[in-house]
Structure 1
Amino acid sequence: MAQTMVNFRMDEDLKKNMEQVCADMGLSMTTAFTIFAKTVARERRIPFEVSADPFYSESNIRHLEKVVSGIEAGTAKIAEHDIIEVD
């Protein structure tokens, strides 16, 4: 089977993280992408659910960053509440 080169751009930190995860599983990134490509070709679908998790929306991330900044600066007002135990 003839081989071909595929090039694409990726965030540098994402690439490093993926390389580490692949190494932890005993895979190279090439092997991981080949597994992905073979699954897409065989099943004619993305082999995982693609959805927009509202937790990661830009507005929520900005809100969380603001809260974290307030906590770090000691200016955040954090409300306490009782823990409700459920049997």
Structure 2
Amino acid sequence: MQDAQEQQATVSVKVNATDKQLATELFDHLGLSLSTAINIFIKKSIAEGGIPFEVKDPFYCAANQVELQRRFDEFNRNQTQDNKLD
């Protein structure tokens, strides 16, 4: 009987078909199967105690924050001008 570390389990993941194709091609160029790449991700996540790269919402990037601030400032200026006209 195999010990617990050697036993294999199946993981089923739903992904966009285009993403799967692109990832398969990428990993193939690296000499890896998609399954091996996913196993590397899982092992690295376990070793680091979390996702092994930064995960963040691109909405909060510096350029978006500058644009949001510009729009808030413009809105506030317009509000102030509107209040002066009343």
Q: TM-score with structure 2 length normalisation?
A: 0.61
Identity %: 31
Q: Which residue does the alignment assign to 1:29? A: 34
Q: Which residue does the alignment assign to 2:8? A: 3
Q: Which has the higher helix share?
A: 2
Displacement of 1:54 in angstroms is 2.7
Bigger radius of gyration among the two = 2
| Amino acid in the other structure paired with 1:44 | G
Q: How many residues align?
A: 55
Question: What do you get for the CA RMSD once the two structures are aligned?
Answer: 1.3
Looking at structure 2, the residues matched to 25 and 54 of structure 1 have their Cα atoms a distance apart, in angstroms, of 31
Task: Specify every segment of 5 or more residues in structure 1 that has no aligned partner in the other structure, as ranges.
Answer: 56-87
Q: Which residue does the alignment assign to 1:40? A: 45
Displacement of 1:42 in angstroms is 1.3
Looking at structure 2, the residues matched to 2 and 17 of structure 1 have their Cα atoms a distance apart, in angstroms, of 29
Q: TM-score with structure 1 length normalisation?
A: 0.60
| Amino acid in the other structure paired with 2:29 | D
**Which 4+ runs in 1 deviate beyond 4 A?**
none
Task: Specify every segment of 5 or more residues in structure 2 that has no aligned partner in the other structure, as ranges.
Answer: 1-5, 61-86
Q: Which residue does the alignment assign to 2:21? A: 16
